[in-house]
Structure 1
């Protein structure tokens, strides 16, 4: 038996707002927006779904409502990486301008990544530029 990675599920207070924020961040469209959840997926996902074997499909991000706010550091987080010719500093500045906040999770000053929080406090990292 083989399973595939279908989705990263993010607990949040406002699924629509989180889906919109992460969708803009990743350049992914909102692919569903229901009363109890919203989701985003890579822009090519729907176009190539029929031609791509299920095990090779990209996971979506699904945002579901929870009544309480975030209280502790995430045990799982997302890493974002600028392109090889792009600037980590510029990407971080753009994310902060859109509502992200710098976060200190004990990473120290000697790391090559920047830890941020999304508008609801979920930590994620912006790595150094990558291919």
Structure 2
């Protein structure tokens, strides 16, 4: 995850606290912060924390981060699981 980025302590992302809840469930990563309308998740293996909440960030067109999800099993079942979240 985040290959080629070097060590980054935390990534702050636009979105509400609810977005953090979604990604926690979607990725199976635990919440490591959930307070004052902000949330953060982190891989169970450690590494970079990803945070949501707080004031909106200014978009940086040169630095777009997104998740590529690749399910191990049935892709349609995974799509349905994510939509249910």
Q: What TM-score do the two structures reach when normalised by structure 2?
A: 0.69
CA–CA distance in structure 1, aligned partners of residues 84 and 34 of structure 2: 25
Match of 2:80 in 1: 93
Which of 9, 14, 17 matches 1:11? 14
Match of 1:65 in 2: 54
Secondary structure at the aligned position of 1:78 is classed as coil
Indicate the structure whose relative CO is greater, using CA pairs within 8 Å and at least 6 residues apart.
Answer: 2
Cα-to-partner distance string for 1:73-94 (whole Å, 9 max, x where unaligned)? xx432111112xx011111111
CA–CA distance in structure 2, aligned partners of residues 76 and 61 of structure 1: 11
Secondary structure at the aligned position of 1:80 is classed as coil
How many residues are treated as equivalent by the alignment?
74
Structure 1 alignment gaps of length 5 or more: 46-57, 68-74, 99-131
Cα-to-partner distance string for 1:81-119 (whole Å, 9 max, x where unaligned)? 112xx0111111111122xxxxxxxxxxxxxxxxxxxxx
Matched, 1:77 2:66: yes
CA–CA distance in structure 2, aligned partners of residues 87 and 36 of structure 1: 35
Question: Which consecutive segments of 4 or more residues in structure 1 shift more than 6 A?
Answer: none
Q: Which has the larger radius of gyration?
A: 1
